Amino acid sequence: MKFTIQAKVPGKLARAGVIETSHGKIETPAFIPVGTKATLKALMPESVRDLVGAHAVLANTYHLYLQPGQEVLKKCGGLHKFMNWSGPTFTDSGGFQAFSLGAAWGKGISKLASGEGEEDGRKLASDISDDDVSKHAALAKVDDDGVTFKSVIDGTTHRFTPEISMDIQRDIGADIIFAFDECAAPNADYEYQKVAMNRTHEWAKRSLAQHIDNDAAAAENTKDKPQALFGIVQGGRHEDLRRESARAIGAMGFDGFGIGGSFDKGDVGTAVRWVNEELPENKPRHLLGIGEPLDLILGIENGVDTFDCVSPTRIARNGAVYSSLGRLNLCNAEFISDTGPLDPECGCYTCKNYTRAYLAHLCRAKEMLSATLLSIHNLYFLVNMVKKLRQA
């Protein structure tokens, strides 16, 4: 992987650049759509590329490990061939699931301290229904060596360590992968945030060591593509911990960095600035799991290069969209006979071809097409909003 900074905003941390991978380039800042299980729900990969204009996608290590399993992915030639995606790919480490299925399970806690989770599209443990598992106990237990967890599919017990996470991500074959980390809940006290941060630092060292070993083995196999490993910064809402974590992770020799953990919704930009003032300038920075429009603006202003979030497709499946007029809910009665475009200032496929009335009909009738058309719009809205910010 190669990262080049092309322009910077004087007196700010904001910058525009390019990440080059073996599967193509990502012009930054960029919003990376999330294809949790090697698919963006309700969308074909061709739609994500051609109708949305996304450069890359991110898949989830935890979910792909459970289904279809790393052996299947390896046999099928990795994520790119498996899902028919020719562009760059990311995979997260599985560490966030230790938080959402463990400390946060059944408590309605999101990554943001405001607790607005589900409304903002940040519902935890993506798409787990009440029928999947019993909510009577946490599904994940963290210790210094790793995480023991139960499958949300069949309740079987599994184990992730930094080494296992690296091996799974190697078999998945994404261009950019992340070190294994612990994401503490936003309501965790200072002492536990520090414990989680220090544990993340130790796991980062182990992830890096395993990645180097895997790279050496892969060098003997010409079919394996090189992977870039990003270390993750933790520290919760505390400036001293965030800066300490950024300095520690920044000194470890990673190819880039992820900014993880929990935030105060009203001050995401400030927390990101603490981190990016400490991280090396010449490597890319990814803000994990945050992607509301205002969050993107604040992140870019404070030096973030890439983002991922399930929010645009999740809220679309519930009839909600981003727009130049603010957030709209197509299930509301006001749109039943509205013959205007979804967003008069948007040039996406959905806005150019379908009325609010038709989209409202699909939502109210619970037709599958509503998720497809609204997801196209929401992803296009965010991807192209960030492209305009890049140009600016």
Active site residues: 92, 308
DSSP 11: T
- What is the three-class DSSP state of 259? strand
Contact between residue 142 and residue 102 where contact means Cβ atoms under 8 Å apart: yes
Q: Which residue has the tokens 């379908």?
A: 354
Residues in CB range of 345: below 8 A, 6 or more apart: 323, 324
Q: Decide: residue 234, CB within 10 A, 0-12 exposed, 13-18 middle, 19+ buried.
A: buried
Alpha-carbon gap, residue 4 to 8, rounded angstroms: 11
Query: Would you put residue 236 in left (φ > 0), alpha (ψ -120 to 50) or beta?
Result: left
Beta bridge partners of 16: 7
Residues in CB range of 10: below 8 A, 6 or more apart: none
Which of 287, 291, 385 is CA-nearest to residue 90? Answer: 287
**φ and ψ at 371, to 5 degrees?**
-65, -40
Which of 107, 32, 7 is CA-nearest to residue 307? Answer: 32
